[in-house]
Amino acid sequence: MDTALDLFANVGYDAVPTSRIAREAGVSEGLIFRHFGNKKKLLEAIMASTERRLQEAFAGVIEEDEPAEVVRKVILLPFTIDENEYDFWRLQFKLKWDKEYYNPRLMEPLIQKLTVAFGGLQYRDPELEARFLEQILDTISTQILREGREAALPFRDLVLAKYGLQ
């Protein structure tokens, strides 16, 4: 699964054959099909951890109650991603263009938390603000995954400043 994740994320699901996954993982090709049934289910086994990983990432935000702190922690969220998980999130972002694997529902807990926070901060349209900040997060995450964490630091500070934080 680790090898498949690497190859799916950096080469592409359709571009990488099961024979290559098996070879680079150091197992026989047949084993893939014994374990996962078919290639698609291998991808699904990898993607199955998405919900858990998101919840783990959100945990620190969800338990925060101070509105300004909620916003601050959300902005810092993309920078808390473990570098070992970059491949996983890269795959996630790539598959966003596949309707089958794009599930906006997963972000709802964060949206809700942010909506309440922006409400507490007297923003005019809290839910719209929440959805907009989520998009900015998407943007920053994309940059981090493509150009590394350092490249996104100026943006982090700019966004924090725009929300009157830091």
Partner DNA sequence: AGGCTAAGTGAGTGATCACTTACAATATAA
Partner DNA sequence: TTATATTGTAAGTGATCACTCACTTAGCCT
Interacting residues with DNA (CB under 7 A):
16-20, 26-31, 33-35, 37-40
> Alpha carbon of 140 to those of 23, 100, 136, 137, 146: distances in Å?
35, 24, 6, 5, 10
Q: Which does 27 bind (CB under 5 to 8 A by kind): a copy of itself, DNA, none?
A: DNA
Q: Which does 132 bind (CB under 5 to 8 A by kind): DNA, a copy of itself, none?
A: a copy of itself
Instruction: Name which position in 105, 150, 154, 164 contacts a copy of itself (CB under 8 A).
Output: 154
**21 interacts with a copy of itself by CB under 8 A:** no
CB atoms within 10 A of CB 32: 21
Q: What are phi and psi of 64, to 5 degrees?
A: -85, 145
Q: Which does 79 bind (CB under 5 to 8 A by kind): DNA, a copy of itself, none?
A: none
Q: Which does 128 bind (CB under 5 to 8 A by kind): a copy of itself, DNA, none?
A: a copy of itself
Cα gap 43→69, rounded to integer Å: 36
> Alpha carbon of 11 to those of 17, 44, 79, 91: distances in Å?
10, 17, 24, 10
**94 interacts with a copy of itself by CB under 8 A:** yes
31 versus 128: smaller Cβ distance to DNA = 31
Burial pattern 114-125, b for ≥16 Cβ within 10 A else e, equals bbbbbeeeebee
Contact 144, 152 (CB under 8 A): yes
Instruction: Name which position in 8, 90, 113, 118 contacts a copy of itself (CB under 8 A).
Output: 90
Which residues of this protein are in contact with a copy of itself, per CB under 8 A?
12-15, 90, 93-94, 97-98, 102, 125, 128-129, 131-132, 135-136, 138-140, 142-143, 146, 154-155, 158-159, 162
